[in-house]
Structure 1
Amino acid sequence: MQRATELALDEKTVTALRAVLRTTADEVVRAIIDEVPSYANALSGRMGGTIRRAVRTALGHYLDLASGTGGGGDASDAAYELGRGEVRDGRSMDALLSAYRVGARVAWRGLAAGAVPAGLPAAEVAKFAELTFAYIDELSAASAAGHADELAARGLAHERHLEQLARDLLAGATPEVLLVDAQRAGWSAPTTLTVVLLPSFQVRPAFRQLDPGTLVLDDLPDSTGVLLVPDTDRAHLLRQLTGRDAVVGPSRPWMRASASYARAARARALSSLIRDTEEHLPSLVLSADPEAYADLRARALAPLRALPASSARRLEETLRAWLLHHGRREEVAAALFVHPQTVRYRMQQLRDVFPDLGSPQRVLELTLAVGLPTPVE
């Protein structure tokens, strides 16, 4: 503290001030506890001893500075650590700053009571007062820096713990791992989680509209981000995501969020037009095992391969509409934009190709085979 060198106290004055140091420190502690609610009931506990030592140390360092016999580094370092400790004890910086203001007032009153009888001139007493409050300001700044740094460090650590929890959820980690992750992150587990896939640049803006317990990852491959939304109403969530390129998976028990993620990822790979996976369950079911579906189609629709490609496509389209509309010719014709007689003609062709078209097993296979509007290979 450079300004302390402007005031040189003689040995007699310093001795007189040191004589009232302990009493002044105790008065400061009592005033802080009486006037700052956050420190109520602290005098009799471990904190009271800590506060007393901190106050005595600060006042002692100040006298060393004012008498030109010491530096301010130790006191500033202690004030910095005090600020960090306030975060660990769950108190805001406002409480500590209030304590400094009270302490400055009481300390000045006590030290001045020792300095004036020691013969300190009035001009020096005024400078002494100025330096006393400047010193308190310096300690306040050091504590504020410690408080801010501890909050930042804790915020980063908390963010890392939440990200690890999200990654383990998507990876389908064991319940034991997930419980440890949640506890470490201080995250209150919900009943369900719903996974939302978004382009990474849309993740943070979308997150600000959602439940604060939502878990966030915005660094997945292919510039993809993920939101894991707790206990949400699906219709409301979809409205909140209006205007965003989102794919919303199903709600699942929170430890099974990986299932919601897997479905959303599969939907995203299937089509860029899918938004709500619940509205595309047939397509998702039929695309779950591409090889099995290709084999099913190849076997079920093999009779059509003997026909010209254009005829095969028309007949598959007609077969699909016929199955979906339960054979109601007028509805099939309307769906295909053709005359009902055209439907009758095509269905006769299909019965020629599939003699067992009326059997339940054949109907099941053909319904699955043409479930997706994919042309015959």
Structure 2
Amino acid sequence: MAIDPQAPPRPWHALPDDLGALVCAAIPAIADELVDVLGPAIPVYRTLEGPFGRDVVKAVADALHDFAGVIEQRPPTVGADRALYVAVGERWFRSGHSLDELQAGYHLGARVVWRRIAAVATAARAEAATIGVLADALFAYLDEIAAVTVEGFVAAQAAAAGEVERRRARLLGCLVSDPQPERAVLERAALEAGWPLPRALAIVALGTDAAPRRLPSDVLAGVVDGVACLVVPDPDGPGRRAPLEAALAGHAAALGPTTPPEHAARSWTRARALHALLPDPGLHVADDHLLELLLAEDPSLVDDLARLRLAPLAGLPPRSRQTLHETLLAYLRHRGNGPRMAADLHVHPQTVRYRLARLRELLGDALDDPEARFELEVVLRARAVRASP
């Protein structure tokens, strides 16, 4: 008989008074059949042995007895037994089984239970309308049990995930704290967080508005003092850098030096300092910017040195001054190699020669003085990182 899902449920009190007693009498056989059917059909149910297995079988029998009470005394709802089925879901999660396995068991179990209860009703010569009422009551009741059990499972899952996140946040805080705790404290925090403490790590600093794509699964992430912080285990291992760069593409990120875990605060300090200087997206490595980081400790030194060494260019229009700054930095980096300078600046070699002539006119012998050349490169490299005009 087809059932219209939009139709209101039939009145549960239309069932014969003795039907509940008949269902109760069939419960032991139904519970046994459930256990026999679930095991072969769904692998996880083959392990229903020991205390957990006995609890599952007891829960099945209790649910069936309660349903018998439903059809004799009240509408189909779990009512006061709700907490029992929430607890079943919580325990199912703690047992390590999946939600899919739980729901698959419910779906198969519902079919088995209905087949046996329908057989009981048919043997009692119940009318078709009575069997229909029984079907409505049974499936409404089983749906509610399933929903409440899933609720318990999901709540336990969320609580466990939240606890893991809290423990990982505590671990990250321990790693970047200054002064850092002893190694034993780090090891205990890592064990509690389920994060294997590596022999070496490095820390990435980036903006909190960044949304990295597919970070490696072993990267520990959080926010420290308003800056996003990523702890990367074994950053120098084979194949480790490429996935990190891909995940951070399009974001300005700074990678601190590789250190043992007990010195992670040094990697974090260096990464955070470099991140404050970054003008461009991409993964920037602190070890490639040590001079700029050193000068950033006192930016006024760079400004004073710039006023001293770049004074001859100060009177130029801003655009011309910037062009000559870029040309001078290319000249110092490439030791005056014209073709390399042209490639670096994306201009014609003749343009490079013209600009160099202009620089020699303005700076004179400074281009040939080793000390002046060093100071000029320091100033220009620091300004390039700071994105100053």
TM-score of the two chains, using structure 2 as the length reference: 0.69
Report the alpha carbon displacement of residue 211 of structure 1 after superposing the two structures with TM: 0.6
Distance 1:287 1:129 in 2: 76
| Letter matched to residue 47 of structure 2 | N
Distance 2:108 2:310 in 1: 91
Mark the CA change 1:236 to 1:96 in structure 2 (over 3 Å): closer, same or farther.
closer
Aligned 8 A contact 1:80 1:145 in 2: yes
Of 208, 230, 235, the residue aligned with 1:227 is: 230
Structure 1 residue 251 and structure 2 residue 258: aligned?
A: yes
- Give the match for residue 365 of structure 2: 343
Report the alpha carbon displacement of residue 275 of structure 1 after superposing the two structures with TM: 3.3
Distance 1:276 1:6 in 2: 71
Aligned residues: 327
Structure whose CA Rg is larger: 1
Distance 2:286 2:185 in 1: 28
- Give the match for residue 45 of structure 1: 50
- Give the match for residue 183 of structure 1: 191
Report the alpha carbon displacement of residue 281 of structure 1 after superposing the two structures with TM: 1.8
Identity of aligned residues (%): 28
Distance 1:259 1:79 in 2: 51
Mark the CA change 1:27 to 1:251 in structure 2 (over 3 Å): closer, same or farther.
same
Gaps of 5+ in 2: 1-7, 313-327, 337-355, 381-389
Mark the CA change 1:311 to 1:251 in structure 2 (over 3 Å): closer, same or farther.
closer
- 1:45-100 Cα distance to aligned partner (Å, 9 max, x none): 22221111101111111111111258522444323222222211111122112211
Distance 2:68 2:115 in 1: 15
- Give the match for residue 63 of structure 1: 68
Gaps of 5+ in 1: 302-308, 315-320, 348-362
Distance 1:311 1:22 in 2: 95
Aligned 8 A contact 2:14 2:133 in 1: no
Distance 1:227 1:259 in 2: 14
Report the alpha carbon displacement of residue 312 of structure 1 after superposing the two structures with TM: 11
Which contiguous aligned blocks of 4+ residues in structure 1 show a shift greater than 4 angstroms?
2-5, 269-274, 285-288, 309-314, 344-347, 366-372
- 1:323-359 Cα distance to aligned partner (Å, 9 max, x none): xx9xx99xxxx799437x9539997xxxxxxxxxxxx
Mark the CA change 1:345 to 1:279 in structure 2 (over 3 Å): closer, same or farther.
closer
Please give the residue correspondences for 1:69-80 in structure 2 after superposition, counting only pairs within 5 Å.
69=74, 72-80=78-86
- 1:243-294 Cα distance to aligned partner (Å, 9 max, x none): 3122221122234321110112233456757932111223434666x59x98
The root-mean-square deviation of aligned C-alpha atoms, in Å, is: 4.2
Mark the CA change 1:344 to 1:109 in structure 2 (over 3 Å): closer, same or farther.
closer
Mark the CA change 1:312 to 1:79 in structure 2 (over 3 Å): closer, same or farther.
closer
- Give the match for residue 386 of structure 2: none
Mark the CA change 1:346 to 1:12 in structure 2 (over 3 Å): closer, same or farther.
closer
| Letter matched to residue 61 of structure 2 | R
Of 252, 262, 267, the residue aligned with 2:274 is: 267
- 1:83-135 Cα distance to aligned partner (Å, 9 max, x none): 22221111112211221122222222333343344453332123213322232
Aligned 8 A contact 2:38 2:45 in 1: yes
Mark the CA change 1:346 to 1:41 in structure 2 (over 3 Å): closer, same or farther.
closer
Q: Which moved more, 1:166-175 or 1:110-119?
A: 110-119
**SS in structure 2 at match of 1:200:** coil
**SS in structure 1 at match of 2:263:** helix
Distance 2:368 2:99 in 1: 81
Aligned 8 A contact 2:12 2:137 in 1: no
Mark the CA change 1:66 to 1:336 in structure 2 (over 3 Å): closer, same or farther.
same
**SS in structure 2 at match of 1:67:** helix
Report the alpha carbon displacement of residue 149 of structure 1 after superposing the two structures with TM: 2.1
Distance 1:49 1:277 in 2: 59
- Give the match for residue 160 of structure 1: 166
Q: Which moved more, 1:278-287 or 1:102-111?
A: 278-287
- Give the match for residue 355 of structure 1: none
Mark the CA change 1:165 to 1:130 in structure 2 (over 3 Å): closer, same or farther.
same
| Letter matched to residue 131 of structure 2 | V
Structure 1 residue 124 and structure 2 residue 130: aligned?
A: yes
Mark the CA change 1:38 to 1:311 in structure 2 (over 3 Å): closer, same or farther.
closer
Of 103, 111, 119, the residue aligned with 2:109 is: 103
Aligned 8 A contact 1:213 1:229 in 2: yes
Aligned 8 A contact 1:4 1:68 in 2: no
Aligned 8 A contact 1:62 1:135 in 2: yes
Please give the residue correspondences for 1:314-333 in structure 2 after superposition, counting only pairs within 5 Å.
none
Mark the CA change 1:29 to 1:283 in structure 2 (over 3 Å): closer, same or farther.
same
Aligned 8 A contact 1:75 1:139 in 2: no
Please give the residue correspondences for 1:257-296 in structure 2 after superposition, counting only pairs within 5 Å.
257-269=264-276, 275-285=284-294
